[in-house]
A and B are shown apart, each in its own frame.
Chain A
């Protein structure tokens, strides 16, 4: 730690901390960031640049850092890339690595791209790798991605926990610098519930980097300590350090990401790594400060060229000299404050080269009084040094604008200040307007779109006393708006109060610079002044286009240091004012946020709720293969003895056809419709006539939308005169329920009807097959199962295994069938009892795949598979269900629309391949002649296609134009391997008379 100052700073010099960077063991102190500790060890070089692999050093001391991206490694899974070294807190044993270099940071093979750089200007990739199109993914993109890149994501799953919390407050203050502290103090004193968050480990913001300022007559550190103590002691105040407000969402919903364990040497196993706070704030105060701009000159990216304010922060806050011999390039008076503080820390100030023509602010005067060497009217022609700056070449700008070389200084650090840019990110994210402040030379918040206000540096107010007062006023205004009484206050402060304004844009250069060197606008994305000029030469005028063409501002730092400079350059070379060039959009997140904190606990099994049926565990134990149907887990088939799916499905289907099978149908949507107008409601809602349905009977119902297209279907049973049991498709349950509510609440408020979702109240076991009655007869009591007493589509109540039973005699297989409805808690027991009772008949559990085949053999449609939202009941072959005498029902008027009654509509038909072994692809297109030249008209498509064991051949259903008029015709199904001839047949392939149901 050769570059530590003798004393001072907020580091704890009694607690040495060791860490490694690229395998090199180093020492730092508690309170250091990785960046400050590296600088104390004389390390500036920390990275290679994105595109040209240029050596890069630490530029800043905060969130805006464009260069110093590192990977911090705890173990194989805890391997966090792209962290800003300026924000990584040092802990004992920290392991950090530089990124994007091979084999080493000091000798990087990729740096040869720098030699090629004249050939890879902005837009190079877009222009060069255009053709052939297919080569982009396979040939061009992988090596480009590899060459240009950031850190490497860990390969292992993230082992850490991430917490999430919703919280409400009266006033949220973002940023705990002087303005934020004053705002929080004011709002809290008024009695408001306050949250004060700050991205740094310590509250205080710029106060932490002050050398000998005072507030209210106290040294700044003393005032800060008591302010934080006052806030901390207030039970209505929540202080959140290490917490970044990354996004401002509508209606004062603000996302905060709190880093809880990243700074700890050994995090507790119970601690979440991060916590995402979702704050709903009555009022917001944004005190997010301002970010210093680099100056743009050739070689401004050499390690050792830094922001002046960063040099000052490292000296005052971290007790770290950023070099021994500094040249200060001043585009703002802020540079003088840095020069004075570095001189006080023992750094030799070789020169202060002001790029402006005059300077008479308090900071410049103080520097002059301190005898620092100051000159004006300078520009910078270049820097020297390989992996670290060793000198700087200055030039003079004559009054006519010509530039001539002047002096060269040897130095080991260059500090630059182009002035400060207000951090308006969050205000802009909240859709607040921005206005150009000519006096400040920056965009500042204008009309707010939310209940928010900005204060301090982030709205162009500077000077310590003014900033504190502005913060207090904003805090008082926020508290007042939230219903508390507060008036604000003034503060007395003593400090240098350097003017932080500057002039954005590039420094003047000779017409033909010698030697030519790159001047970087955007460090992280390697965008140079030439790229911006090229984009303009090529006709890009809008800043949005220039941004995307050059990628300036599109790196992970989102142009925090580069944005305004780029705008100013575009303005200057197109003879416009900066506000006339416009501004690109600020988007969340302010700094990158981990996926983990967004995901919270919603990972793996917790990602989505899982709905399980009563037979779930039973099926798991028997090796059932599951499929997801919405959130439901449904058994697709039950393989026995190593069967594949085809074999299992064939066996399950044949069992149902020849003996008996059982199927868990609990996922069917179920809605109980009750009330004196229940029948009338269903008359209006479904196409069928429900008045004529007797209690104890069920009917197949079809639901349309008002456009006339099929929306859902299901069996509806009338339990009593005023009570119906409606079933829906598994996937349609929620939307049918919502649609019923909609019509009941908003259209037919005259009806006295209540609806209740009972999907999860009933377990349903479908028992299907010629032996179904024999199985149930062993278990059911209180119901006469005989065909006369309980015919097809009848309902009866009784008991099974001693528990209440609602028995539907229905069939979705075409066989004699029953659906056993029992209260869900008895579902597993009844399932197992039926299985046991059915053993003597060879009862076979079957899954959704066999269910699909069985219903397709019978031509029963599945809404959503055989219909697609543009099918009428007639198209789907179920127009018979429509109640012809009803005055109205949903969709009745829609069905008479010209397009729905026009000839030639697609109708559902059966298809039989000429070769019975060929199983068609679902979704395949149907054509009326084979092997026609492309393009040719499609006349339909295959909706369902299976192998039928019962029929010994393949079967399919298809929607075909004029399909029912084509019975017996041969048409073709177009496939890549050639058109397949098929015969149009009835969709009812099995037992067309329906004799098997009525036994």
Chain B
């Protein structure tokens, strides 16, 4: 079970969280202007990253807040977690063990 650092509550066990998929995919401000291809990419296309991956989590059975995390998909170690709306921190090698 992963230990996840909620930016609001601190480190909590994984079973308090819900996974939210890839982070930093903003809904277009005016979807009507999106081409079919752009809309398809917004709906369905996601990265399948080996290594550092920015992803969304929700502390669903805790404070209820959404936040973002950078996790190394090869080790499951989190490099950093940060609040939704904050810019993605610069990539850091490895993950804190």
Instruction: Report A's interface with B, CB cutoff 8 A.
Output: 249-253, 278, 280, 431, 448-451, 706-707, 738, 741-742, 745-747, 749, 887-888, 892-894, 897-898
Contact count band on B:
20 to 34
Contact B26–A747 (Cβ < 8 Å): yes
9 closest cross-chain pairs (CB), A and B? A893-B31, A251-B3, A745-B66, A253-B1, A746-B84, A250-B76, A451-B97, A747-B27, A707-B43
**Of the candidates A251, A707, A741, which one forms a contact with B66 in the assembled complex, judged by CB atoms under 8 Å apart?**
A741
In Å, the complex CA distance between A249 and B1 comes to 6
**Of the candidates A253, A451, A745, which one forms a contact with B84 in the assembled complex, judged by CB atoms under 8 Å apart?**
A745
Binary contact track B26-68/A, C-beta < 8 Å → 1, others 0: 1100111010100110110000000000001010100011100
Residues of B within 8 A of A749 (CB): 85
In Å, the complex CA distance between A450 and B96 comes to 9
B9 interfacial contact with A, CB 8 Å: no
Q: For residue A554, give the distance in angstroms from its CB to the closest CB of chain B.
A: 27
**Of the candidates B3, B26, B32, which one forms a contact with A887 in the assembled complex, judged by CB atoms under 8 Å apart?**
B32
Q: For residue B78, give the distance in angstroms from its CB to the closest CB of chain A.
A: 9
B91 interfacial contact with A, CB 8 Å: no
The 18 sampled A-B contact pairs (Cβ below 8 Å) are A250-B3, A250-B76, A251-B1, A251-B3, A280-B3, A280-B13, A706-B31, A706-B42, A738-B60, A742-B66, A745-B65, A746-B56, A746-B66, A747-B27, A888-B32, A892-B31, A894-B39, A898-B36
B20 interfacial contact with A, CB 8 Å: yes
In Å, the complex CA distance between A449 and B77 comes to 9
Contact B3–A706 (Cβ < 8 Å): no
**Of the candidates B13, B18, B39, B65, which one forms a contact with A897 in the assembled complex, judged by CB atoms under 8 Å apart?**
B39
Instruction: Name which of B3, B26, B27 has the most chain A CB atoms within 10 A of its CB.
Output: B27
In Å, the complex CA distance between A888 and B60 comes to 28
Contact B1–A706 (Cβ < 8 Å): no
Contact A448–B26 (Cβ < 8 Å): no
Q: For residue B81, give the distance in angstroms from its CB to the closest CB of chain A.
A: 13
Residues of B within 8 A of A897 (CB): 36, 39-40
Q: For residue A168, give the distance in angstroms from its CB to the closest CB of chain B.
A: 10
Contact B27–A706 (Cβ < 8 Å): yes
Contact A746–B85 (Cβ < 8 Å): yes
Q: For residue A512, give the distance in angstroms from its CB to the closest CB of chain B.
A: 51
Contact A250–B2 (Cβ < 8 Å): yes
Residues of B within 8 A of A706 (CB): 27, 31, 42-43
18 additional A-B residue pairs with CB within 8 Å, beyond A745-B66, A893-B31: A250-B3, A251-B2, A251-B77, A252-B3, A278-B1, A280-B3, A431-B75, A449-B75, A449-B97, A451-B97, A706-B42, A741-B58, A741-B66, A745-B65, A746-B56, A892-B31, A894-B43, A898-B36
Contact B3–A893 (Cβ < 8 Å): no
In Å, the complex CA distance between A738 and B65 comes to 10
Instruction: Name which of A252, A741, A745, A897 has the most chain B CB atoms within 10 A of its CB.
Output: A745
Q: For residue B29, give the distance in angstroms from its CB to the closest CB of chain A.
A: 9
Residues of B within 8 A of A451 (CB): 97
Residues of B within 8 A of A893 (CB): 31-32, 34, 39
Q: For residue B55, give the distance in angstroms from its CB to the closest CB of chain A.
A: 13
Q: For residue A491, give the distance in angstroms from its CB to the closest CB of chain B.
A: 29
Residues of A within 8 A of B77 (CB): 251
Contact A888–B31 (Cβ < 8 Å): yes
**Of the candidates B30, B39, B40, B75, which one forms a contact with A888 in the assembled complex, judged by CB atoms under 8 Å apart?**
B30
In Å, the complex CA distance between A249 and B26 comes to 34
Residues of A within 8 A of B3 (CB): 250-253, 280
Residues of A within 8 A of B30 (CB): 887-888
Q: For residue B14, give the distance in angstroms from its CB to the closest CB of chain A.
A: 8
Residue of B nearest to A734 (CB): B60
Residues of B within 8 A of A249 (CB): 1
Residues of A within 8 A of B43 (CB): 706-707, 894
In Å, the complex CA distance between A894 and B97 comes to 42
Q: For residue A285, give the distance in angstroms from its CB to the closest CB of chain B.
A: 15
Residues of B within 8 A of A250 (CB): 1-3, 76
In Å, the complex CA distance between A887 and B60 comes to 31
